[in-house]
Structure 1
């Protein structure tokens, strides 16, 4: 390694062969020690050039202890309690202490408040309400209430990660607020994940802020999550990731097929909030598979697909399933990266079915059809993801790849993050036909680096690393100067 002239200075052949700038080389050792990890299978042959194979992050001691605390019995008890409210339809009673969405709301609030009491003041819980005027699936003015627990970070609290499950339910007729609609799988399972994470995280310190929310009115049209997202947007909150847990209760399809060790993660390509001009740039330079949500999905597989969670994460490259959509869409619309966790196979014979017995066969979204071991593993995937995000530096911002000169090397620039324990950065890249990052190169605590590898042939990204070895999600560069 040695000095490296910029393209504008007219680099010589020998200087252009240098992999890093001098400033990067001087500090690369600060982030040169990776977390212990097992090798990951590459989709294609790794590209040539500097760097080492990219490998997944393994859970450290703190995360391993956290994952062990996730309690299957508590998750089952939560699902059964929510189903016992009879219906949690958005238009059901908000004042009945036993049945309806109001009773469920108050119980969730009480449980989360109990967890917050053990947090030493770091966790707060609120009932976030507004009145939705008549709209699609809302025939009369209706109060919609989210139950929101916020675990404030100690280091960079302005950086926020959000997880939700929706506590409303529905019968076959989406406007039927009277019939039983226990909603065990859809979506008491997701709420149970959120509540169990609130419990185990409440006694721990995180660097960034985590918002754990049970949102309402998803079945009527994502109203609760849209309000939560709009409130965060209006407050100028830096939401760097959001996950919806929706229908995570079972691994069995309606034909009996089981896949108990896989959870699907839906992640869109071209961002929902991207302007036509931005989409045109993306299509012209590549990166159709490199939206912030896709980078987030790669991060999930990097930190949560391991023996500690017991799960494989099957990333689905689309926004959501056909004809349906979950609460992550509300956050995508605000321009934030988001994804939806859901079970690998759906049992449509039990989803949104009125509770009844036909020819001796019981139907309905009942707890009896849930797999509580499966939900527990999904909770561990969420916990590994949130903990790793909240303890790592934030995703690098303003990352650009210099495209003002015709060269066979690549210059990347970015903005330095504010974290006090920031050690530096890593550049990652992959073949354009590969879906996962294949090579990684520590470059130190710098904001610019030049690598002797053509930007025409591979896709590059940049991620931050702290002194403990925690790594951020990757930021994909935009063309710039």
Structure 2
């Protein structure tokens, strides 16, 4: 009687690796998801509030008041974090002089602080976490009155500092940038300046996570909720050409821009943060309002806004006062530090997952019209960029589903056919998978979903 030999035993080790998927996830993500300290975040917010005002047009010479003192303290704090990791951060200013604008009529140097944790294998691929330095009161041009900006946006900046403290304990193939951006309230100028620098220097930006107000858990709607975060993302790329828009009309992609699939990625990473869920909001930002992710979207980079779910408008952009028993002002007593720590963890696991993963697949294409089968193809990176690449996972979902619901690991190949899955009834995408199980965001086929090339 002949003995049956399993087919995998007939394959070479390299061929077998094609069929064996990597781990489901990197277990270190669980540790990162619980690492942020509410106490350290509180200390940073209190320090930022102590500068009195951080208005973009405020004092720059004082050591204790104004935006100049604040940005110098942030620079020194990043340097302290770098010393603790053996000099792993490149800390510098990002600045330009702005004038002739509605909210900056006279020449003012807008100065942001950035710290780069350089990747070990793919250093020109970046994921960015940002928070804003500046604050304001009711009059956007009032650079003198006390403007604590405890939640808007000392909370987002404190989260960025805390993420740097945590993630500099690890090494990643891709680079992570921690950005303290200035000039947000005066017209998103810090983001515009950094996005322009990134384009000029040829950065391959995979993601920008803009954190603007992550510490208010009780809203003006009367709801207190410390278990949900919102993620805002644009539906179609701001830089889409007329030709690309016409192609999208016939192939889909209105809800699958790289920013939208970045939001889905963040939503999936929330599983590593205890007692936190996300609300994906299919809009660039809150209705008629803006934030520092928009300049990156405008430059063609994937970017989203992460923030609290229930805002309290009496605590935003208000002079410090009490009227008719109603308290106005963005003071520290309105900040939930534990909640800010959770949203910081959401950022941290998302940054770590993307920085550990290989770059998202490039040139993703799809075909399958008038066929029972659907075929996807893509480009693979080479050299050091592929050093941790295990293979690829193909995803699909019904067109009305908000999240990717089905997937199959297909190995280290550059194409795959899904048999008896009709292209007309689903949306499709491809993610790169690392040897440790971390994945890139899913890439939708064509220009509508492209994260860029290698």
Shared fold by TM > 0.5?
A: yes
Q: State the match for 2:293 in structure 1.
A: 328
Aligned length: 433
* Alignment pair present for 1:448 and 2:412: no
**Aligned partners of 1:470, 1:31: CA distance in 2, in Å?**
15
TM-aligned CA distance change 1:374 to 1:64, over 3 Å: same
Secondary structure of the 1:390 match is helix
Q: 1:175-225: per-residue Cα shift (whole Å, max 9, x none)?
A: 111111110111000000100011112232111100000000000000011
Q: State the match for 1:355 in structure 2.
A: 320
**Aligned partners of 1:447, 1:213: CA distance in 2, in Å?**
35
Q: 8 Å contact 1:119–1:204 — kept in the other structure?
A: no
**Aligned partners of 2:84, 2:182: CA distance in 1, in Å?**
26
Q: State the match for 2:452 in structure 1.
A: none
Instruction: Tell me which of 341, 351, 362 is aligned to 1:397.
Output: 362
Q: 8 Å contact 2:22–2:436 — kept in the other structure?
A: no
**Aligned partners of 1:76, 1:228: CA distance in 2, in Å?**
27
**Aligned partners of 1:126, 1:119: CA distance in 2, in Å?**
17
**Aligned partners of 2:354, 2:109: CA distance in 1, in Å?**
33
Q: State the match for 1:12 in structure 2.
A: none
Q: How does 1:359-378 map to 2 (within 5 A)?
A: 359=324, 361-378=326-343
Secondary structure of the 2:145 match is coil
Q: 1:34-68: per-residue Cα shift (whole Å, max 9, x none)?
A: 51xxxxxxxxxxxxxxxxxxxxx5xx432233333
Report the CA distance between 1:263 and its aligned residue: 0.6
Report the CA distance between 1:402 and its aligned residue: 2.7
Q: State the match for 1:472 in structure 2.
A: 440
Secondary structure of the 2:424 match is coil
Report the CA distance between 1:479 and its aligned residue: 8.8
Q: State the match for 1:415 in structure 2.
A: 379
TM-aligned CA distance change 1:132 to 1:27, over 3 Å: farther
Q: 8 Å contact 1:400–1:478 — kept in the other structure?
A: yes
TM-aligned CA distance change 1:31 to 1:399, over 3 Å: farther
Measured on the aligned residues, the alpha-carbon RMSD in Å equals 2.0
Q: 8 Å contact 2:22–2:435 — kept in the other structure?
A: no
Runs of 5+ unmatched residues, structure 2: 1-10, 449-454
Report the CA distance between 1:276 and its aligned residue: 2.1
Moved more, 469-478 or 228-237: 469-478
Moved more, 449-458 or 388-397: 449-458
Q: 8 Å contact 1:400–1:479 — kept in the other structure?
A: no
Report the CA distance between 1:133 and its aligned residue: 2.3
Q: 8 Å contact 1:160–1:238 — kept in the other structure?
A: yes
Runs of 5+ unmatched residues, structure 1: 1-21, 36-56
* Alignment pair present for 1:111 and 2:77: yes
TM-aligned CA distance change 1:73 to 1:223, over 3 Å: same
Q: State the match for 2:21 in structure 1.
A: 32
**Aligned partners of 2:58, 2:20: CA distance in 1, in Å?**
55
Q: How does 1:142-181 map to 2 (within 5 A)?
A: 142-181=108-147
Q: State the match for 2:63 in structure 1.
A: 97
TM-score norm. by structure 2 comes to 0.91
**Aligned partners of 1:67, 1:298: CA distance in 2, in Å?**
17
Q: 1:296-338: per-residue Cα shift (whole Å, max 9, x none)?
A: 11111112234x3431111000100112110100110111111
TM-score norm. by structure 1 comes to 0.86
